[in-house]
Structure 1
Amino acid sequence: MRKYVIAAMTLAACWASAGAATNLLNVSYDPTRELYQQINPLFEAAWKARTGQELDIKQSHGGSGAQARSVLDGNQADVVTLALANDIDQLADRGLVAANWQKRLPLNSTPYYSTIVFLVRHGNPKGIHDWSDVVKPGVGVITPNPKTGGAPRWTYLAAWGYASKTYGQAKARDFVRRLYKNVLVLDSGARGSATTFIQRGQGDVLLTWENEALLAVKQAPPGAYEIVYPSVSILAEPSVAWVDRNVAAHGTAAPAQAYLRFLCTPAAQEVIARNFYRPRNAAVLRKYGRQFHDIKLFTIDKNFGGWRRVQAAHFVDGGVYDQIVAENNR
């Protein structure tokens, strides 16, 4: 125990040496690069005005599941801003994050939300309008790997929920199997799949975050892509937490906690909305509401029994997703 305390004190001293800015590492999921590049300077300035302390916030991005595993393997994240509550639950199960992490911040530690939509090419040549269209033979689907990313797990569950509602629970598994039979490339995260679809020109439809689809339309030549909202999708709630074990070692608990609370302020909520994530602040949502399409959303808790149940049934090694992949590869 004494060795651990000495090591932690030494690491904290290196992390915030005298006269230097305090480093804060945000380990996040794929599409949030631009979001935090804009939020970080705002918080750094606010923190300096409040405390006089210089902060230097670093970012790390990748598939949400892969990012969670990197923290489990020793990535020195002060905060995690991941696509799934389940990814943070895994850190809590290993003692890196407090078990009650969701209750420590406003809005159940979900400062914004999103959903899953379809991005298609000009004119929508394959006539893709709903989930039933993406399982048709000859439709090339691009979506990331549910074993490594957050968006693909939301996508998988959105498809499962649609199939259960439309055809009945007994037929949902085969519907999802047919969807993944059409997947041409399984990238590790949402941004990689966007690159495959947009820059490499593969596939007829990209199943992705709403914010990624809106960003793609904004950045592309006019009319190059169209967003298709299916009849129903899922309420996707990315979650945030500070990593208790690491902030204790680094001496960064105060700025890490303040940083995550800052995400719920009107200033940060404006940045969130401008980056096409749906803000929690009602006034900001009204201001930017025109860019978000009304869509029926079901939830992970009500429709699937929560993330722990979903993880154990679908995404563990040998779970339903692995079984589907094995069947498609026969």
Structure 2
Amino acid sequence: MVRTTTAAALGAAALLALTGCGASSEASSGGEQQEIDLVGFSILEAANQPLIEAFEKTPGGKGVTFKTSYGASGDQSRAVESGLGADVVHFSLEGDVTRLVDAGLVAKDWNTGPTKGILTQSVVSIVVRKGNPKHIEGWDDLVKPGVEVVTPNPGSSGSARWNILAAYGHTLATGGSEADAKAYLKKFLEHTVALPSSGREATTAFSGGTGDALISYENEAILARQKGEDFDYVVPDQTLLIENPGAVTEDAPPAARKWLDFQLSKEGQKDYAAFGFRPLVDVGDVRVEGANDPSDPFPQPKTLMTIEKDFGGWSNAADKFFDEESGLVPQLQQETGTS
């Protein structure tokens, strides 16, 4: 049985059922055609297609078409800020949405719903070669002699920032100090041999033979295996809950809000689960091909860190770790030559 990992989302299914009834009765104002410009981070592309097809069959999706754009989360957010058309945004990081709030493109109350603006979630995982020849079972194995790591670039990719915080946080979760965590992260970067611009490009690089381990979303690892990639993945004992936010823009058509509601419905979350995302609501039994155990695809890690509890929220984490002038990660990237 798959259960939600966010307690605040437990009531979402009932609430969305009510809002869905209202949307059905309003269905696309007389059958009028509406186009939704959907801008998302790269890993969503495959998972969104079946959701779009299912939504278009609902009363709320009648007459609705989609124009989509996918890429590295930070790059996509900056593109919307600079004028790329968007009715719905679905990014890897909270900061990529708040950038658009600051620009006047998204309402300030975008994250006040039952899931606090989160549309999908996953956990940080470690992808390894078939049979795990380097015997990588956790974070400490990544900094052993001869191990080469691939992770996206934190300058452009949201998934990279989740990865970096999970790597840093595991040291604290196992009793280490912040100095220990900094020392570990420096070693981690010294073992990093590729920093592609997005999570999807990182998977492509690893699939092409670069590195011994890829730091990735669990759902990205599952999707790659569904597509025939012959590698394994490990959910470390200490990992970080990945929470991907989304919002409608201020001038979006009514269908955009109905799409957002559909994403958070039981049907929408079950479809996302089939592609490896951990559902935000109880979707009942679900079999996920490509998972380590398809009948029990989302095991609970021993220690599941969150951005709020362990890092003080994204505003604090962004300044402390990723600020270009004073952040720990740019500093360590310069020291290790991985900037």
Deviations 1:222-254 (A, max 9, x none): xx311112111001110110111x42xxxx1x1
| Number of the residue aligned with 2:177 | 168
- How far apart in 1 are the matches of 2:125 and 2:260? 27
Deviation at 1:95, TM superposition (A): 1.5
Where do residues 237-256 of structure 1 align in structure 2 (5 Å cutoff)? Answer: 237-244=243-250, 246-247=251-252, 252=253, 254-256=254-256
Mean CA deviation greater in 139-148 or 36-45:
36-45
Corresponding letter in the other structure for 2:49: Q
Say whether the 8 Å CA contact 1:106–1:261 is kept in structure 2.
no
Could you tell me which residue of structure 2 aligns to residue 235 of structure 1?
241
Larger gyration radius, structure 1 or structure 2:
1
Matches for 1:207-246 after TM superposition, within 5 Å: 207-220=215-228, 224-244=230-250, 246=251
Partner of 2:300: 294
Is the 2:274–2:286 contact (alpha carbons within 8 Å) kept by the matching residues of 1?
no
**1:272 has 2:272 as partner:** yes
CA-to-aligned-CA distance 1:196-238 (integer Å, 9 cap, x gap): 001x1110001000011112223326xx311112111001110
Deviation at 1:286, TM superposition (A): 6.4
The Cα shift of 1:293 comes to: 2.2
Residues of 2 paired with 1:137 and 1:92: CA distance? 45
Corresponding pairs, count: 301
TM-score (norm 1): 0.86
Partner in structure 2 of residue 150 of structure 1: 158
Please provide the CA RMSD for this pair. Answer: 2.1
Which digits, 9 at most, give the CA deviation of each residue in 1:77-108, with x for residues without a partner?
101011111211111122211112101x3311
Partner of 1:304: 311
2:55 corresponds to: 43
Equivalences for 1:131-150 in 2 at 5 Å?
Answer: 131-150=139-158
What is the rounded CA distance, in whole Å, between the counterparts of 2:65 and 2:286 in structure 1?
33
Query: 3-state SS of the aligned residue for 1:238?
Result: strand
Is 1:91 the counterpart of 2:100? The answer is yes
8 Å CA contact 2:43–2:199 kept in 1: the answer is: yes
Are the structure 2 counterparts of residues 182 and 173 from structure 1 closer, same or farther at C-alpha, using a change threshold of 3 Å? Answer: same
What residue number does 1:78 align with? 87
**Deviation (angstroms), 1:287:** 6.5
- The answer to whether the Cα contact below 8 Å between 1:68 and 1:88 also exists between their aligned partners in 2 is yes
Structure 1: distance between partners of 2:104 and 2:60: 31
Give the Cα–Cα distance (whole angstroms) in 2 for the partners of residues 241 and 217 of structure 1. 30
Structure 2: runs of 5+ lacking an equivalent: 1-30, 289-294
Q: State the 1:20 CA deviation.
A: 7.7
- Residue 94 to residue 226, structure 1, CA distance change in 2 (3 Å): same
- CA-to-aligned-CA distance 1:266-307 (integer Å, 9 cap, x gap): 221221111110112213366766111221311101111000
Is the 2:266–2:282 contact (alpha carbons within 8 Å) kept by the matching residues of 1? Answer: no
Match of 1:30 in 2: 42
Q: CA deviation at 1:73?
A: 0.8
- Residue of structure 1 in register with 2:78 after alignment: 69
* Deviation by residue 1:115-160 (Cα, 9 ceiling, x = unmatched): 1101111221111111011122321101100111111110000011
Moved >3 Å (runs of 4+):
283-289
**SS at 1:111 equivalent:** strand
The residue aligned with 1:329 is: 337
Q: Kindly state the Cα deviation for residue 54 of structure 1 after the two structures are TM-superposed.
A: 1.4
Write the deviation string for residues 1-60 of structure 1: whole angstroms up to 9, x where unpaired.
xxxxxxxxxxxxxxxxxx9832111100011111111111221221xx358x51111211
Contact 2:90 2:119 in 1 (8 A): no
Measured at CA, do residues 177 and 96 of structure 1 come closer, stay the same or move farther in structure 2, by a change above 3 Å?
same
Supply the distance in 2 between the matched residues of 1:50 and 1:243 (Cα, whole angstroms).
18
1 CA distance for matches of 2:130 and 2:66?
39
Partner SS state of residue 239, structure 2:
strand
One-letter amino acid matched to 1:297: L
Paired with 1:284 and 1:183, the residues of 2 have a C-alpha distance of: 39
